Structure 1
Amino acid sequence: MKAWIALTAALLATPAAAQDVALTFDDLPVHADLPAGETRLGVLARIVGALADAGAPPSYGFINGGGQAERGGAEALRVWRAAGHPVGNHTWSHQRLTEAAGFEAEVVRNEATLKALGGDWRWFRYPFLDEGATPQLRTAARRILAARGYRVASVTLTFDDWAWNGAYARCLAKGDTAEVARLEAGFLAAADDSLTRAKAMSRQLYGREIPLVLLMHVGAFDARMLPRLLALYRERGVRLVSLPEAMADPFYKDELKAAGTPAPATLEDAFAARGLAAPPTTWSAAALEPVCG
């Protein structure tokens, strides 16, 4: 722990070099409950607008095609694509991977929607980031993805942004503006801490800062906070890059081939592979569950 604290302190004291980060968004077009007056189309439009204002490159949105059935879902996907942002496969209905045949059916069923939206859509992200409970299931899923030409979209930067969306909807319903302000501050603090943590982990493992792939979601609170989050990243020396550009780094080489590796390409798993304990996080998704409950 002392070594970790010293490394983090040294990183913070070092003049900030550009840190490449690829923005990715899961659960298009439907994620979390919406506050009163919000729409799926409105959420996606605000996210698209924030990305444009920040000059972000095309950012992958991983879709569950079944979400189109919700009012405004299909139109929201068209808005995303019209803005030049590509889509990838997140399965049809966001089912957890429990057996290979059902997993393949979910992947294949989603492809008609992806083809209709166009672009380079052969990128895949696992629902719940769950790659299977056994090595055999993980290998079977990877073989399915490789046979269908997919690359796996890694996640090396996350602060559990999804957990703020439910709390935000509940607080708005109660008219608790003070708690909303606390949620805003906590969201930005978690994002800042997660970036510092990932950079320090990368430097400890590899002596350099690898390009990071950030996981976000298309929730109402994400849409509210995205302009401030991107401004924070600019202050921290982040350079926004595309997913293919970030994952061209050697760290991700097996994901690009959907290779049957024993563990996902995450910094936490890289720590575990070396027998090291990953540093603790400063945020807690569970702590948000009772907020405005």
Structure 2
Amino acid sequence: MRVVLSIAVALAATAAQAAPKPMIAVTWDDLPAHSALPPGVTRVEIAADLLKASADAKAPAFGFINGVQTERERASTPVLKMWREAGQPLGNHTWSHPNLAALTPDQFTAEIAQNEPMLKDLMGDKDWRWLRYPFLSEGDTPEKRLAVRQWLAANHYKIASVTMTFDDWAFNEPYARCMAKGDTAAVAALEQRFLDGAAAVADRSRAMAKALYGQDIPYVLLMHAGAFDARMTPRLFKLYQDKGFGFTTLETAQKHPFYQTDMDPSLPPQPTTLETAMKAKGLPAPPNPVDLKALENFCR
């Protein structure tokens, strides 16, 4: 009996070791400046903290830029060179972060093109032809979505997908307000909500992937280059590591078949989020565990 039990334990351990680690590609939107700044914090300090946390965790950090911010906040401009000097890539998040639903396809693609000279200068001969849609919006009509995708295909772009997001952007403004008021208890509550939300959404994304594929896919995590993100990223990365995740590049993650139509926008559009893929198969998506309403009331 003991021998049989020992064999079973050994087999279980071997299976656990053989199971591939779920992987996350971490992407950072809104470089070089996102959301409000707490007193005494600079964009350069935020970028330095994000890059250090990424290096410490060996988590590649693909950044997506809005060039207009170098005009609106000139002190943020060094962030983009810092990102490149750290060996991290940059891609296109449009010039001024408009919602495609409010523009024509031609207006929107002009926004993408306006960002390109800056990306060419920063990236040199490296691949910068990745687009992250602002607000993750591909427009308000199928025709608009298709027109922009055709332009992207003709201009050799890939689309940066999102298969994991816990609305980290929504924590940055409350954090700035709470720091301005010196409300340390509220900041601690924000920290707990941030980590709890990240953990719950990681479980949610995995549940959807397993419902669709019977196993994990490589996940693309959406983050934002804000002050609270910089404060929390070391703890966030540890949370993911403690949950068994490893980190990978965006390009490697999106080699999975789930991302095929974002890697080649000339293909007929298919669901490109786990939620829409679930809906297309008639499966219910788990509810979003992040309470955005509660965040609005912090330190008002």
Q: CA deviation at 1:17?
A: 5.3
In the alignment, is residue 29 of structure 1 matched against residue 32 of structure 2? yes
2:273 maps to 266
Q: How far apart, CA to CA, are the structure 1 residues paired with 2:66 and 2:201? A: 27
2:51 maps to 48
One of 184, 193, 204 as aligned partner of 2:191: 184
Q: CA deviation at 1:55?
A: 1.7
Percent identity of paired positions between Structure 1 and Structure 2: 52
* Correspondence list, 1:142-291, <5 A: 142-259=149-266, 261-291=268-298
In the alignment, is residue 72 of structure 1 matched against residue 50 of structure 2? no
Q: CA deviation at 1:209?
A: 0.5
Segments of 4+ moved more than 3 angstroms: 14-17, 259-264
Q: How far apart, CA to CA, are the structure 1 residues paired with 2:147 and 2:267? A: 8
Amino acid at match of 1:268: E
RMSD: 1.4
8 Å CA contact 2:261–2:270 kept in 1: the answer is no
In the alignment, is residue 122 of structure 1 matched against residue 129 of structure 2? yes
Q: CA deviation at 1:262?
A: 4.0
1:67-123 C-alpha deviation (Å, 9 max, x unpaired): 112132210111011000100000000011121111011010000010010121000
Amino acid at match of 2:74: R
Q: How far apart, CA to CA, are the structure 2 residues paired with 1:248 and 1:266? A: 15
1:38 maps to 41
1:196-221 C-alpha deviation (Å, 9 max, x unpaired): 11111111111110110000000000
8 Å CA contact 1:54–1:230 kept in 2: the answer is yes
Amino acid at match of 2:184: T
* TM-score, normalised by the number of residues in structure 2: 0.90
Structure (1 or 2) with the larger CA radius of gyration: 2
Amino acid at match of 1:114: L
Amino acid at match of 1:26: D
Q: How far apart, CA to CA, are the structure 2 residues paired with 1:243 and 1:262? A: 20
In the alignment, is residue 95 of structure 1 matched against residue 102 of structure 2? no
Q: 1:261 to 1:268 in 2, by over 3 A?
A: farther
Q: 1:17 to 1:235 in 2, by over 3 A?
A: farther
Q: CA deviation at 1:260?
A: 5.2
Q: How far apart, CA to CA, are the structure 2 residues paired with 1:279 and 1:101? A: 36
In structure 2, runs of 5+ residues without a counterpart are 1-14
Q: How far apart, CA to CA, are the structure 2 residues paired with 1:255 and 1:211? A: 14
Amino acid at match of 2:44: L
1:21-79 C-alpha deviation (Å, 9 max, x unpaired): 0000000001001011111111111100111111223x210000111121322101110
One of 60, 63, 69 as aligned partner of 2:62: 60
Amino acid at match of 1:108: A
Q: How far apart, CA to CA, are the structure 2 residues paired with 1:108 and 1:265? A: 23
In structure 1, runs of 5+ residues without a counterpart are 1-13
